[in-house]
């Protein structure tokens, strides 16, 4: 198939899933055309069957807000005509599926099936804002197929927009050959001593991630165990986290790193991953940590409940209950047998349920369905 993908190229789950999916589809022989305002950050090198089309957004003094959605629609139209695309896969509803619909309307001589994947905040936060709600609902209805990254997100979408929306759940995935336990002792030594536990967190530091909770949880853990914390990523709450770490006298024990091209090596040297989010439609980073054999303690919210079987392959705690998170971490560190069991079960979950081999064919089946429906 010739597949167009539009997504956010920045560090964030939806862009990562879109990019990894595109790369996997290309390995399976499909031709994949990415359309974004920048090269997606995990698309460092182009591989056979992968093409990148930069969406050019021209600045003009009249435009306080350059109309990216229009430029994207034009790019989709142009690439569809030139490359004879079979379909367009929009990742994150706003504005990608709206632009795809515009392109389809402009194509006069042929049709263009649209598959929209809902990733989370496009429905749970942004999509519910008054200025976007109607158009998000419209774009969902205009799509030929909708997928959501968890049952929970599919349910929330139907509740928010319309009960009769048909949505396939297709979970996030991870390449367990690449994300596997393998420690680089030199890298670990940069962050923690041999007798210390290393906790990790990675995100875009948006309020929805509750990153201040990460610092509070760590402060409580560090009172009971020798421990260090590494935080990866940039975003609005990053500065407040640095301040809080200083106020709590933890600056020597907490390492702040900027966005990483690959977080894999850092995940592998951690002993525990913290994800105390307000909401999380799936929690891709939790899955990546689990694939590396790193247990996760996460909020009992959203799609995390479909990934984590609490007490078996990682742990869920009530959102905002930093005491519960910290208590769980300390108990895990003090029981090495239980720690090993959880670590192995975490990796096993990734292998059994969330590999590209299991997940990517589900997207291919959706593509075939929409193409067949269109041609009949």
What is the contact surface with ligand GMT in residues (CB under 6 A)?
Answer: 12-15, 17, 92, 119-121, 149, 172, 204, 206, 208, 277, 279-284
Strands 197-202 vs 31-36: parallel, antiparallel or unpaired? unpaired
Residue with smaller CB distance to ligand GMT, 192 or 232: 232
With a CB cutoff of 8 Å and minimum separation 6, the contacts of 241 are 205, 211, 212, 214, 215, 231, 256
Please tell me the distance from the alpha carbon of residue 185 to that of residue 215, in angstroms, as a whole number.
Answer: 25
Residue with smaller CB distance to ligand GMT, 211 or 322: 211
3-state SS, residue 327: helix
Smallest distance from ligand GMT to CB 342, Å: 21
Reported residue count of the chain is: 376
3-state SS, residue 256: strand
Smallest distance from ligand GMT to CB 218, Å: 20
Strands 227-232 vs 197-202: parallel, antiparallel or unpaired? parallel
Smallest distance from ligand GMT to CB 201, Å: 12
3-state SS, residue 58: coil
- Cα–Cα distances (Å) from 275 to 69, 71, 172, 200, in that order, read 32, 36, 16, 9
Residue with the two structure tokens 């998170």:
325
Smallest distance from ligand GMT to CB 223, Å: 29
Smallest distance from ligand GMT to CB 54, Å: 20
Tokens of 291: 């694939």
Please tell me the distance from the alpha carbon of residue 18 to that of residue 27, in angstroms, as a whole number.
Answer: 14
Residue with smaller CB distance to ligand GMT, 14 or 143: 14
Residue with smaller CB distance to ligand GMT, 12 or 276: 12
Smallest distance from ligand GMT to CB 247, Å: 26
With a CB cutoff of 8 Å and minimum separation 6, the contacts of 111 are 104, 374
Smallest distance from ligand GMT to CB 20, Å: 10
Q: What is the CA radius of gyration of the chain?
A: 21
Please tell me the distance from the alpha carbon of residue 158 to that of residue 166, in angstroms, as a whole number.
Answer: 9
The DSSP result for 150-184, as a single string, is: SHHHHHHHHHHT-TT--EEE------TTTSS----
Nearest to 7 by CA among 106, 111, 83, 117: 117
Smallest distance from ligand GMT to CB 61, Å: 31
Residue with smaller CB distance to ligand GMT, 49 or 211: 211
Smallest distance from ligand GMT to CB 10, Å: 8
Please tell me the distance from the alpha carbon of residue 301 to that of residue 146, in angstroms, as a whole number.
Answer: 22
Residue with smaller CB distance to ligand GMT, 238 or 253: 238
């Amino acid at each position: 198939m010739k597949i167009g993908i539009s997504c956010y190229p920045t560090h964030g789950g939806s862009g990562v899933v879109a990019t990894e999916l595109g790369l996997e589809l290309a390995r399976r022989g499909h031709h994949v055309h990415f359309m974004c305002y920048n090269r997606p950050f995990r698309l460092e090198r182009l591989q056979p069957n992968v093409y990148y089309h930069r969406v050019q957004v021209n600045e003009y003094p009249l435009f306080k807000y350059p109309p990216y959605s229009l430029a994207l629609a034009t790019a989709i139209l142009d690439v569809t005509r030139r490359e004879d695309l079979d379909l367009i896969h929009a990742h994150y509803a706003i504005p990608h599926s709206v632009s795809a619909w515009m392109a389809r309307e402009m194509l006069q001589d042929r049709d263009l099936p649209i598959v929209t994947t809902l990733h989370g905040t496009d429905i749970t936060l942004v999509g519910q804002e008054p200025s976007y709600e109607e158009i998000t609902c419209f774009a969902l209805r205009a799509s030929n197929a909708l997928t959501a990254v968890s049952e929970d997100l599919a349910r929330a979408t139907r509740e928010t927009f319309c009960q009769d929306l048909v949505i396939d759940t297709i979970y996030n995935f991870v390449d367990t050959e690449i994300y596997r336990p393998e420690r680089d002792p030199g890298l670990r030594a940069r962050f923690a001593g041999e007798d210390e536990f290393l906790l990790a967190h990675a995100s875009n530091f948006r309020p929805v991630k509750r990153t201040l909770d990460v610092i509070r949880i760590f402060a409580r853990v560090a009172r009971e165990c020798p421990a260090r914390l590494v935080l990866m990523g940039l975003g609005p709450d990053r500065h407040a986290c640095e301040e809080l770490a200083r106020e709590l006298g933890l600056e020597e024990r907490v390492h702040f790193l900027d966005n990483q091209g690959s977080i894999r090596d850092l995940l592998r040297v951690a002993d525990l991953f913290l994800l105390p989010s307000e909401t999380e439609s799936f929690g891709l980073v939790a899955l990546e940590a689990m694939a590396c054999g790193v247990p996760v303690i996460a909020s009992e919210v959203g799609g995390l409940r479909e990934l984590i079987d609490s007490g078996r392959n990682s742990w869920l705690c009530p959102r905002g209950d930093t005491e519960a998170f910290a208590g769980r971490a300390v108990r895990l560190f003090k029981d090495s047998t239980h720690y090993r069991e959880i670590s192995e079960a975490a990796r096993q979950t990734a292998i059994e349920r969330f590999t590209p081999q299991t997940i990517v064919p589900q997207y291919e089946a959706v593509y075939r369905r929409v193409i067949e429906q269109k041609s009949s």
